[in-house]
Every structure is written in structure tokens, then in C-alpha cells.
């Protein structure tokens, strides 16, 4: 949620930057400015009245001591009228604040200056590319056929047990999943991240804190009896660890990683986009989350990008990094970089990670602050990234590393799988 101070000091800048996300911010932003002006004027009147009431209280006491009861009663009547006026002022202030909050919940984050303009994924900018392009054998298969051939994943069984988008991993397929999770967690640990094992369900406050609510209700599984939500990513519970927390400056940055299952009701479009592991309702992911001082957050973002790039290089996958344009960014993000790997058999790029800086947008909702050298509290910057999401990584590993003898396991992963080839 944008801060009132930022909006009041930079209304035209906010409106201009929101246009990069193709959000018309003029009416809501100027309404917030006006409402806050009214609220502050009412607050001044309330404070002035409080000072008058204090004087009147002293005056009543003095009149009573002097035996001037009639005069004291007159002052008491004035006090009652002023208190009634204060009640009306309080109601106006509450109504203004409620409307401000309602508007701000509907306004997305302002994109960072480095975000390119554009409307769709076609307008994203390739920032870096790397990794070996595979040489596939004759008769190369897409991952769904490889999964069936080597008995790694049973998609039909998942449909029987639950429904589409809930695959069952079998034998070496299950072992590969577990190996990737441990590999990603170990690499995060080496990079300085503390492992967290979070709940897979969160309450409504947590959903609002990181911006999933009220933006993504349709994508989240909702347990209505308890009013809990299944997490779409470990970002939600891990970031909410710092809701309503003031962090001592010398304890920053906070660097956490977490493995979790992730649940998303909206699995996407049709055809090849959702076939096999391309889009699922339930999938595994390792997430990295950082809480930073504002002046350190963009250096932290680069470190996170380098970390994800290193994982893809160790998995020997062709990759590129996209700087997302305004129209393709999330509601809450100030800047996002997507990592995609090349799916050789499908001949398309598959997204496997998003790394984002939210600046103070989430922290303002969360009231996540740190105490600076000036002894005052300041909003933190929050960042997170997938490091990594498993389904499309598995798809790319199966397709890119297929050989006539079987599927080759990258050297960095072999200590975790216990085998070097799936045959």
C-alpha cells in the first residue's frame, strides 16, 4: 500500500508512474489527497478543541472554589456542546480514514524508474542470457511423454485422486523432486539464508499484509469455515513473520528461505500452456525472502538475481532473465525480473522464477519497520524470489537432458538423487 506521505509529496509523479502499469490513478490519488487534507484539518480542530476543554476544566474548578455555581454550570454546558462537536469531528475523521484505506487497497504499487513501458509479455526486455543449448537426440520427446516412458509422473492418477493440475510423482520422479528441494535449500543456506518451515495456510490478515488480498481472491483456495487461505507461495507466511514488528537496524537484513507446497486455483490457459507440468494447481517451490533497509534493497535484488542464475547454471539449463514491463508486472511489485528456461522439446521458454522488490508497499500494509540511527522508525523494503519453482525445472531437466540411454542428471544434482541417469 502506498504511503500517504509519498502520495501527498508527489501526487503527479505517482499518477505518472502508475500509468506505466496502465492504471489510471488521477481520480483515486487526488481523492486521497483531498480526503487526507480534510482529515488533517479535522484533526487540527480536534486538537484545538482538546486544548479549550483543558482550560474549561480548570475554569470550572476555579469557579466552584469561588462559589460561582451558576457560572460553573454555564461552562459545563459549553463543555458538553464542545464534546458533542468532537464526536462529530471523530466520525468525520474515521469516515475519511476508512475511505482513504479503501482507495489505497485498490491502487497498485508505483513501478520503479527502471521498469520499461509495455502492455504484455511481448514487451518484456531480455536482460541476460546464458546456459548451454541442448543437442537433442533423434525422436526427442516432451516431458509428459518422458514422464510416462520412465514412470516418473502419473498425471491421470492425479486426476483420479483430485483433479487436473495435481500430478502424482513416482519412484525416481519423486526422488528427483526431493533432490531438487534439498539442493535449492542447501544452496540458499550457503548464500546466508535461514531456513523456515512455514504453515501452508494463512489467515486473512496475512493475505492482506503481502497484497494477495484483495487482489487475488479468485486464485487462492479458501477454507471458508475457518476463513483460512492455502498459500500460493511461501512468500506470504514468511514475510508475515515481520508483520507489526520493529526490527533493530543492526539485525537487518533478514534473509529467509522456505520450501512449501503452493496452491493456485487459476491454472492458466489451454492447450500446450497447461499440458504436463507447465501449469499446476499444486506445486513445490523454494522461496527466498529478504527484509532490507531502503538504501540496501536494490543491491540485495541484484544478489538475489545472481543466486537464481547460479542455480540454473549448476543445473546446466539454458536461461534468460526478463525485466518485466509495466503491463506484465504484479499489483504489488515495484520491479520484477522473470527467469525462464528453454524447453527444448516444446521449443518455448518456461518461467521458473520471479524476483521482485516491493519497496515499502508490503511493509506499509504489514507495519514492518526498523529503528534507524535517528531512533525513529522507518518502513523496510521487502523482496522475494523463487529459488526455484520445481515443475518447469523438472520439465526442462527431462527434456534438455534426454539422451538415447536415458535422462542425464546434472553433476551438481547427482549427490542428492543418488543416481546419474534415469533409464
User: Same domain, yes or no, for 323 and 225?
Assistant: yes
The CATH number covering residue 96 comes to 1.10.287
Enter the C-alpha cell of residue 403.
539422451
- Relative to beta strand 381-389, strand 402-403 is unpaired
Residue 216 has pLDDT above 80, yes or no: no
Of 51-55, 81-85, 168-172, 263-267, the range with the highest mean pLDDT is: 168-172
Q: Has residue 360 been placed in a domain? A: yes
- The CA–CA distances, whole Å, from 81 to 49, 55, 77 equal 11, 15, 6
Q: Confidence class of residue 159 from pLDDT cuts 50, 70 and 90?
A: very high
- Residues 369-399 have pLDDT tens digits of 999 999 999 999 999 999 999 999 999 999 9
Residue 264 has pLDDT above 70, yes or no: yes
- Residues 226-258 have pLDDT tens digits of 999 999 999 999 999 999 999 999 999 999 999
User: Same domain, yes or no, for 136 and 190?
Assistant: yes
Give the torsion through C-alpha atoms of 343, 331, 204, 380, to 10 deg.
100
Residue 267 has pLDDT above 70, yes or no: no
pLDDT of residue 335: 98
**Mean confidence (pLDDT) of the chain:** 94
User: Same domain, yes or no, for 205 and 82?
Assistant: no
pLDDT of residue 104: 97
Residues near 354 by beta carbon (within 8 Å), at least 6 away in sequence: 330, 336, 337, 338, 339, 385, 386
Domain edge (last residue) among 78, 105, 132: 105
User: Same domain, yes or no, for 98 and 126?
Assistant: no
User: Same domain, yes or no, for 255 and 368?
Assistant: yes
User: Same domain, yes or no, for 155 and 205?
Assistant: yes
- Residues 303-318 have pLDDT tens digits of 999 999 999 999 999 9
Mean pLDDT value across residues 346-360: 97
| Structural domain boundaries, residue 71 | 4-105
User: Same domain, yes or no, for 26 and 84?
Assistant: yes
User: Same domain, yes or no, for 93 and 164?
Assistant: no
Q: Has residue 365 been placed in a domain? A: yes
Q: Has residue 88 been placed in a domain? A: yes
pLDDT of residue 35: 97
Q: How many domains does the chain have?
A: 2
- Residues 18-30 have pLDDT tens digits of 999 999 999 999 9
- Report the distance separating Cα 87 and Cα 67, nearest Å: 31
Examine residue 163 and say whether the peptide bond preceding it is cis (omega within 30 degrees of 0).
no
User: Same domain, yes or no, for 20 and 132?
Assistant: no
Q: Has residue 95 been placed in a domain? A: yes
User: Same domain, yes or no, for 127 and 50?
Assistant: no
pLDDT of residue 272: 57
Residue 270 has pLDDT above 60, yes or no: no
Mean pLDDT value across residues 271-291: 91
The CATH number covering residue 236 comes to 3.30.930.10
What's the order of all strands across the beta sheet hosting 421-422? 402-403, 406-408, 421-422
User: Same domain, yes or no, for 86 and 128?
Assistant: no
Q: Has residue 114 been placed in a domain? A: no
- pTM value? 0.93
Domain edge (last residue) among 45, 73, 105: 105
Q: Are 328 and 120 in contact (CB under 8 A)?
A: yes
Enter the C-alpha cell of residue 359.
519497496
- Report the distance separating Cα 2 and Cα 360, nearest Å: 7
pLDDT of residue 213: 92
pLDDT of residue 136: 92
Residue 299 has pLDDT above 60, yes or no: yes
Q: Has residue 113 been placed in a domain? A: no
- The CA–CA distances, whole Å, from 253 to 206, 209, 259 equal 21, 19, 20
Residue 145 has pLDDT above 70, yes or no: yes
Q: Confidence class of residue 74 from pLDDT cuts 50, 70 and 90?
A: confident
Q: Has residue 392 been placed in a domain? A: yes
Mean pLDDT value across residues 396-403: 97
Q: Tell me the DSSP string of 207-249.
A: HHHHT-TTT-GGGS-EETTTTEEE-SSTHHHHHGGGTT-EEEG
Residue 271 has pLDDT above 60, yes or no: no
Domain edge (last residue) among 52, 72, 105: 105
pLDDT of residue 55: 82
**CA 210, chain centre distance (Å):** 5
pLDDT of residue 268: 52
pLDDT of residue 380: 98
User: Same domain, yes or no, for 287 and 339?
Assistant: yes
Q: Has residue 323 been placed in a domain? A: yes
Residue 269 has pLDDT above 60, yes or no: no
pLDDT of residue 24: 97
Query: Is the CA virtual torsion 232, 238, 242, 244 positive or negative?
Result: positive
pLDDT of residue 274: 80
Residues near 164 by beta carbon (within 8 Å), at least 6 away in sequence: 158, 267, 281
Amino acid at each position: 500500500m502506498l504511503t500517504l506521505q509519498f502520495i501527498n509529496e508527489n501526487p503527479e509523479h505517482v499518477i505518472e508512474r502508475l500509468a506505466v502499469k496502465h492504471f489510471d490513478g488521477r481520480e483515486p490519488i487526488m481523492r486521497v489527497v483531498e480526503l487526507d487534507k480534510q482529515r488533517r484539518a479535522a484533526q487540527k480542530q480536534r486538537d484545538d478543541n482538546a486544548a479549550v476543554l483543558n482550560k474549561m476544566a480548570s475554569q470550572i474548578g476555579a469557579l466552584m472554589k469561588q462559589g460561582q455555581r451558576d457560572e460553573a454550570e454555564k461552562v459545563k454546558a459549553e463543555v458538553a456542546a464542545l464534546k458533542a462537536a468532537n464526536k462529530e469531528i471523530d466520525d468525520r475523521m474515521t469516515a475519511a480514514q476508512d475511505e482513504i484505506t479503501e482507495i489505497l487497497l485498490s491502487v497498485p504499487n508505483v513501478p520503479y524508474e527502471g521498469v520499461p513501458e509495455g502492455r504484455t509479455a511481448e514487451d518484456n526486455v531480455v536482460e541476460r542470457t546464458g546456459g548451454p543449448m541442448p543437442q537433442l537426440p533423434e525422436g526427442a520427446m516432451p516431458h509428459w511423454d518422458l514422464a510416462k516412458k520412465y514412470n516418473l509422473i502419473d498425471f491421470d492418477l492425479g486426476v483420479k485422486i483430485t483433479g487436473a493440475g495435481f500430478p502424482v510423482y513416482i519412484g525416481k520422479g519423486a526422488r528427483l523432486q526431493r533432490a531438487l528441494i534439498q539442493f535449492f535449500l542447501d544452496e540458499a543456506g550457503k548464500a546466508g539464508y535461514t531456513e523456515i518451515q512455514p504453515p501452508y495456510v494463512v489467515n486473512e490478515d496475512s493475505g492482506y499484509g503481502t497484497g494477495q488480498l484483495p487482489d487475488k481472491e479468485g486464485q487462492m483456495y479458501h477454507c471458508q469455515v475457518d476463513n483460512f487461505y492455502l498459500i500460493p507461495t511461501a512468500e506470504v507466511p514468511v514475510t508475515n513473520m515481520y508483520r507489526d514488528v520493529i526490527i533493530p537496524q543492526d539485525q537487518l537484513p533478514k534473509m529467509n528461505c522456505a520450501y512449501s507446497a503452493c496452491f493456485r486455483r487459476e491454472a492458466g490457459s489451454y492447450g500446450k500452456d497447461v499440458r504436463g507440468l507447465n501449469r499446476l494447481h499444486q506445486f513445490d517451490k523454494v522461496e527466498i525472502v529478504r527484509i532490507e533497509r531502503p538504501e540496501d534493497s536494490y543491491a540485495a535484488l541484484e544478489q538475489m538475481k545472481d543466486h537464481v542464475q547460479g542455480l540454473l547454471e549448476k543445473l546446466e539449463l539454458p536461461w534468460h532473465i526478463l525485466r518485466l514491463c509495466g503491463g506484465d508486472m504484479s499489483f504489488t511489485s515495484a520491479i520484477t525480473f522473470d527467469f525462464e528456461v528453454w524447453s527444448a522439446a516444446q521449443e518455448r521458454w518456461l518461467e521458473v522464477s520471479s524476483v521482485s522488490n516491493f519497496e515499502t508497499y508490503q511493509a506499509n500494509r504489514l507495519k514492518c519497520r526498523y529503528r534507524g540511527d535517528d531512533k525513529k522508525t522507518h518502513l523496510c523494503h521487502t523482496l522475494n524470489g523463487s529459488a526455484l519453482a520445481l515443475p518447469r525445472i523438472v520439465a526442462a531437466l527431462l527434456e534438455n537432458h534426454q539422451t538415447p540411454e536415458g535422462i542425464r542428471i546434472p553433476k551438481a544434482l547427482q549427490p542428492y538423487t543418488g543416481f546419474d541417469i534415469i533409464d
